[in-house]
Amino acid sequence: MLTETIALREFPVVLFGAGHVGAVLVRVFANLPCHVVWVDERDETFPPIDQLPPNVTMDASGIPEAAVDEVLAK
């Protein structure tokens, strides 16, 4: 079997939109060495917190620029 490491360490992802496309992307990112900040001001569109992968944080603050600034500051 041939494998190749794509990323050696965890990398940040800021994902905008908690609709059906965002939900699929979160499931893909759940298998990668990353931390996802999932941003959508519509809090009701997020799944229940106990159904989120451990590497995902929800942000329903309504200020997407703040999420990007926070990730870039790290």
What digits encode the pLDDT tens for the residues 9-64? 789 999 999 999 999 999 999 999 999 999 999 999 999 999 999 999 999 988 88
What the chain holds in terms of domains, given with CATH numbers, is: 11-73 (3.40.50.720)
Q: What is the pLDDT of residue 5?
A: 66
Contact 64, 39 (CB under 8 A): yes
Contact 27, 3 (CB under 8 A): no
Q: What is the pLDDT of residue 60?
A: 92
Contact 34, 10 (CB under 8 A): yes
**CA dist list (Å): 42 to 8, 31, 45, 53, 74:** 34, 25, 6, 19, 26
Q: What is the pLDDT of residue 6?
A: 67
Q: What is the pLDDT of residue 7?
A: 59
